[in-house]
Amino acid sequence: MKTGGQLIVEALEAQGVRRVFGVPGESYLAVLDALHDSPIEMVVARHEGGAAMMAEAQAKLTGRPGVCLVTRGPGATNAASGIHVAQQDETPLVVLVGQIERGMRGRDAFQEVDYGKLFGGMCKWVAEIDSADRVPEMISRAFHTAMAGRPGPVVLALPEDTLTETADVAVAPRAEPVDSAPTPAQVASFGALLAKAERPLLVVGGSRWTEESVAALRLFAERLSLPVAVTFRRQMLFDHCHPLYAGDVGLGINPKLTALVRDSDLLILLGDRFSEVPSQAYDLLGIPDPGELGGKTVVHIHPGAEEIGRVYRPTLGMVATPAAFLEAVAGLAVTAKPGWATRAEAAHAAYEAWSTPPESGPGDVQMGRIMAWLDERLKHDAIFTNGAGNYATWIHRFHRFRRFGTQAAPVCGSMGYGLPAAIAAKLQHRTRDVLCFAGDGCFQMTGLEFGTAVQEGAAVIVLVVDNGMYGTIRMHQEREYPGRVSGTRLQNPDFAAFARAYGGHGETVETTDQFAPAFERARASGLPAILHIKLDPEALTPTRTLSEIRAAGKGK
């Protein structure tokens, strides 16, 4: 006989879980006790939101569900931010939440929460394990559900007395995602549409990708000379130096790429929902008929059946994972037209011009020169993470991603994501460089997780880009309400001293020339590190100063 807590841990082991992320709580003491004798590593975060983001980032980089353990009530509500990331980013996540004893339900007991009502709108499945003998069944279903179709988060509530109850049951085998694939008729229809096209464009994104499917994507694009664009914060899906790469369809899009999307007569959407950000606020395609704008044909391939036709009614829809689709179309007897290669070449040239960082700007720190230096020095397997803010433009526009598995960033635009994600990435890939970019406001959302990095020996390098404000909001504020600054100023600490206080490495960078030696010292230290980069407030965006934005706002 085993306790419910022991069965939970045994079931996680059967699923191949190597580590879980969480904050301890008395509501799941029995699980913590079972972890004591398990090979599963418990990564202790400082906040449940940080723990959920760590688990989500690990899932992004592995394709297997990340696991987060949080206590009931406030612990669960704190984790909601990471759960929302998993929902919007299509990431498999399993969140195990403590709960009051079963006999107390419905009395508004201490820290009682109705998890179905709390998480029902952002989770694929929310349930409670009501007896110890159902643990194997429920954990198995949670992993299957999290990975199936459009991946996403699952929440399982663990009543305290269920975890101490005993049962004699066997664990379920490891869950594996089921691939959906296009039918032969759909493949034939796709081939016919491709053969008729004069200006095709392949746009890729979403999840359910692997290193093998990314390689298959490259081969497919090369065979047909197709220009390839990626969606917001999915840049790692195609080598940016490949001559077929056209850029990212996201925030701050290259106007020439916008024109390329509008001009295409066949738009192939592979793996992505093409929601608000890549669609430029739903302006690039007609709804529900995408052909209303520009008369284009749209083929939509997505692993979730519920996404086909949800917003756009495609000419051809296929419920398929990227890998299954690319395998099915690999043998299509379609010949590339001469104009396709010319169009792809022009698109890549436009991307290269757009992504070349500026060498100068306001102040003594030039982020363009720093980005160029990083791209010259770092290996192609270096992992970049970030949260949300104008500073992230320096990565998304100017860093050239070369390999799969080198990016963990929130499609949902969550602040505070970068540091937890970097910790998870470094624990997963100890020998690779892991860089977290964070604005001063973004870092302070989850900055205490730097203590988790030190405790776990996760030698991440955090670049805190400090301009003393919530920069993105200030940008919008100056544009819409020029000169009327309200609620966007920040009083910041010495972030380098903060790092040293935790036992990490910390340095301040006040000029461009100070960055390279500071970075090399941080890397050589073998410690989690923070480089506090003092950026001039005028350098609000890579291309426009604060004063220019304000002046433009006043000129409206």
Domain presence at residue 531: yes
36 and 113 part of one domain: yes
Domain presence at residue 361: no
Look at the chain and report how many structural domains it folds into. 3
User: Residues 118, 119, 122, CA angle at the centre, nearest 5°?
Assistant: 135
User: Residues 119, 122, 123, CA angle at the centre, nearest 5°?
Assistant: 75
349 and 381 part of one domain: no
Pick the last residue of a domain from 354, 376, 397. Answer: 354
292 and 432 part of one domain: no
135 and 199 part of one domain: no
29 and 102 part of one domain: yes
188 and 336 part of one domain: yes
438 and 315 part of one domain: no
Domain presence at residue 178: no
53 and 122 part of one domain: yes
What string of pLDDT tens digits covers the 556 residues of the chain?
999 999 999 999 999 999 999 999 999 999 999 999 999 999 999 999 999 999 999 999 999 999 999 999 999 999 999 999 999 999 999 999 999 878 778 888 777 888 999 899 999 999 999 999 999 999 999 999 999 999 999 999 999 999 999 999 999 999 999 889 999 999 999 999 999 999 999 999 999 999 999 999 999 999 999 999 999 999 999 999 999 999 999 999 999 999 999 999 999 999 999 999 999 999 999 999 988 766 789 999 999 999 999 999 999 999 999 999 999 999 899 999 989 999 999 999 999 999 999 988 999 999 999 999 999 999 999 999 999 999 999 999 999 999 999 999 999 989 999 999 999 999 999 999 999 999 999 999 999 999 999 999 999 999 999 999 999 999 999 899 999 999 999 999 999 999 999 999 999 999 999 999 999 999 999 999 999 999 999 998 898 999 988 988 887 7
Which CATH number characterizes residue 196's domain?
3.40.50.1220
134 and 248 part of one domain: no
Domain presence at residue 220: yes
Domain presence at residue 172: no
389 and 321 part of one domain: no
Which CATH number characterizes residue 481's domain?
3.40.50.970
Domain presence at residue 21: yes
287 and 426 part of one domain: no
Pick the last residue of a domain from 354, 388, 406. Answer: 354
What domain range includes position 58?
Answer: 2-167
Domain presence at residue 135: yes
pTM for this entry: 0.96
Domain presence at residue 179: no
Pick the last residue of a domain from 354, 377, 411. Answer: 354
548-554 long-range contacts (CB < 8 A, ≥24 apart) are 549/475, 549/478, 549/479, 549/482, 550/478, 550/482, 550/483, 551/482, 552/479, 553/478, 553/479, 553/480, 553/481, 553/482, 554/482, 554/483
404 and 513 part of one domain: yes
3-state helix, strand, coil in the chain (%, to 5): 45, 15, 40
Tell me the C-alpha distance between 228 and 202, whole Å.
5
